[in-house]
Structure 1
Amino acid sequence: MSAPHLSPMQAPAFSSRTQLRGALQRLLNEAVADGIAPAVSCAVVLGGSELPVLTAGKAGPDTFFDLASITKLFTTITTLALVDRGVLELDAPIGRHLRAYSRGKKSTVTLRHLLTHTSGLPSEWKGWHTSLSEGRGFHRTELIADLLTLDLAAAPGTRFEYSCAGFNTIMALAEQVTGTPWAELVEYWVLERLATHDITGTPRLEHCAPTEYQPGLGRGMVRGIVHDEAAWSLGGLSGNAGMFATADGLRVFGTSLLEGLPGILSPTLAADMWRRQLPEMLGAHFTADEPGFGQGLGLRINQQPWMGDGGARARGHGGFTGTSLLVDKSKGVVIALLTNRVNPSRDGDDATGLRKSVSDVVYSFA
């Protein structure tokens, strides 16, 4: 069969896509060869066109990866959907619904504070570790109650501190107000509307890339169960972690973000999610060089270490397991990069260099 004839306008585009695929595949192959991760998968949208899913190592296009903190974007959209329906309010004190936040400095914490990491809560909640070390097992109701007693490390609105504890507090708030389990809220308000089976909080074990070997926690090799220990103690899918996806599934989600989350959020809230929030939230406490990047509602903005030199206007999120999602409306770019860099141990390369290299290559063709 002879090669198809390409017009002068078609040939360069075809050549560019082929070159981009080749450059990305080399990066993925090198990442596996260099021991950054045993499994890697990448899906890209460039100028409205999807590239085929690329994989390396022990991954195929249908391999599910633990998204880790990319889950926070699903949490953000789920709660904003409740704001859209008048169930929650962005700028009202959450103490209206959570007794533990009804007094003292915590009484001024709002959902917007939590979504922008300006609530004053510390980064982590270690109640799960206490329960485990004392042999009491995990009882979700007790753990949530313990989470909600966590003291603030700063007054609300006075500093930015990335907080997984804050996003699990969002989960507790949504469950309290709706009387509905968190996984059901995420499924109804986000996953059903995305209409893809390639994103889930309950993956089949045999389809999942393994994460960390944790015999000290009695978990052995973690696979198909959330890697994050706080989310694990809370039953799996939580406010801070617990979503799994294939690279193509995460690309579907990224494309929805790129297009303004049609059918999921109102245009007003979708735009507010994208907008820089820190100058407004921190007021006189905000300085131009701190924290060194922007923060929307849930979305991180211009994170140069991994979004790359061209990502000044990009939004997205990374995950501890070696995952990232970059979305750039100005360039029509979506990059879903998934690895299991914590397998068998978290002590290796954190995949920041790989994430940046992938971003830089894609932007060089944008």
Structure 2
Amino acid sequence: LAEITAVAERYLGPSPTHPYWAGAVVLAGRGGTVALETAVGRAVRYSDYDAATGRAVEFPPEEQIDATPDTVYDLASLSKLFTSLLVVQQLERGRIELEAPAARYVPEFAQGGKQDVTVRHLLTHTSGMPAWIALYRQPDREAMLRALWAVEPTDAPGTVYRYSDLSLITLQLVLERVTGKPLDVLLAEELTGPLDLTRTRYNPPADWRPRIAATEVSRPPWAGLDRGLVWGEVHDENAYAMGGVAGHAGVFSCAWDLAVLARTLLNGGEYGGVRVLSERSVELLFSDFNTAFPGDGHGLGFELNQHWYMGAMATPRTAGHTGFTGTCIVLDPTTDSFLVLLGNSVHPVRTWRS
């Protein structure tokens, strides 16, 4: 545990040229015990970035904000886990079928040759769709949806593993059609509310800003939009263009809330007397649906056995995910342990961590 803290602190320095992150929070536990909870560095350090010199502009020392265990981070792609859990809940309730084509629920999705893409393909990133398209370049939400409908798979569904934001955006639309509720409302009603995750939500209010870690100075050419310092709003351009609520990105949270989520899943879907998933459904999160693609193990929503970030915790049933902003969660059911790592490694700019 001391080594974990030392590594987190080491990345505050040259890694190898610039700091890997401005700050980070680490929380680890086994069973019902929190073994480590620590914060290092700054949640907010830089106000701007000068591309000509490659130097960052720091806030005055009195305006910089330390990272604390309660700091809220933009989770980036960890948001995909919440979307996936909401889908699995609907699988339980019989409103969605795993092997059903997504077009059963969103008929427009069948355009572009996607009629055979199933819910399982979307949850396991085997849809054959491209990884990403620049939806934020569209003028409005309806145009974004038309662009998504027009996407053509580059491979037949089920024949290739390709991590795709588009899969989780599609699942958002499936959920919204099936339930008649927006994704942020579903998140609050079905997960964060029942589990009392009070610091987990889309679009955090303005008064949360002093407790939120800043992300990137967003400016072309390294970013898609010219927004200046992104702080308190979602970093991902497509999620931002979608109003901050998207299936692939947009959720903000803190280490403790993610620890509660981890314990809920390791407990078989229950925490504090509240059950959000059945044990059978939780088992689907830790079961590999991608045995045809060695090295790309995937449960429903969760990556499995990824040594590159799970390290010594990696086993065939170890589940987790990473996020572009510098976030990570790992759950190991074989040892009943978890680790949450939240950093702002794109602060001040994504290229520094290269």
Q: Check whether TM > 0.5.
A: yes
Indicate if the aligned counterparts of 1:100 and 1:149 stay in contact, CA closer than 8 A: no
Distance in 1 between residues matched to 2:333 and 2:264, nearest whole Å: 11
Distance in 2 between residues matched to 1:148 and 1:188, nearest whole Å: 29
Distance in 2 between residues matched to 1:93 and 1:331, nearest whole Å: 36
Q: CA deviation at 1:48?
A: 3.2
Q: Secondary structure at the match of 2:320?
A: strand
Distance in 1 between residues matched to 2:232 and 2:145, nearest whole Å: 23
Q: CA deviation at 1:222?
A: 0.4
Bigger Rg, structure 1 or 2: 1
Structure with the larger strand share:
2
Aligned twin of 2:23: 39
1:182 aligned partner, one-letter code: L
Bigger shift: 89-98 or 326-335? Answer: 89-98
Aligned twin of 2:215: 211
Indicate if the aligned counterparts of 2:23 and 2:41 stay in contact, CA closer than 8 A: yes
Indicate if the aligned counterparts of 1:144 and 1:172 stay in contact, CA closer than 8 A: no
Indicate if the aligned counterparts of 2:215 and 2:348 stay in contact, CA closer than 8 A: yes
Q: CA deviation at 1:116?
A: 0.5
Q: Secondary structure at the match of 1:197?
A: coil
Aligned twin of 1:332: 336
Distance in 2 between residues matched to 1:149 and 1:175, nearest whole Å: 20
Q: CA deviation at 1:91?
A: 1.1
RMSD (Å), alpha carbons: 1.7
Q: CA deviation at 1:143?
A: 1.4
1:269 aligned partner, one-letter code: S
Aligned twin of 1:357: none
Consecutive aligned runs of 4 or more in structure 1 exceeding 6 Å deviation: none
Matched ranges for 1:291-306 at <5 A: 292-306=295-309
Q: Secondary structure at the match of 1:45?
A: strand
Q: CA deviation at 1:177?
A: 2.2
Indicate if the aligned counterparts of 2:12 and 2:21 stay in contact, CA closer than 8 A: yes
Q: CA deviation at 1:47?
A: 4.2
2:290 aligned partner, one-letter code: L
Consecutive unaligned residues of structure 1, counting only runs of 5 or more, are: 1-19, 280-285, 351-366
Distance in 1 between residues matched to 2:178 and 2:335, nearest whole Å: 39
Consecutive unaligned residues of structure 2, counting only runs of 5 or more, are: 43-66
Distance in 2 between residues matched to 1:75 and 1:301, nearest whole Å: 17
Q: CA deviation at 1:172?
A: 1.1
2:74 aligned partner, one-letter code: D
Q: What CA deviation, in whole Å up to 9, does each residue of 1:274-325 have, x standing for no partner?
A: 110013xxxxxx25xx4x2411111001111111034124111011111100
What is the count of residue pairs matched by the alignment?
314
Structure with the larger helix share:
1
Residue in structure 1 matching 2:38, options 54, 75, 83: 54
Distance in 2 between residues matched to 1:183 and 1:146, nearest whole Å: 22
Aligned twin of 2:55: none
**TM-score of the aligned structures, taking structure 1 as reference length:** 0.82
Q: Secondary structure at the match of 2:193?
A: helix
Indicate if the aligned counterparts of 2:102 and 2:174 stay in contact, CA closer than 8 A: yes
Q: CA deviation at 1:202?
A: 2.8
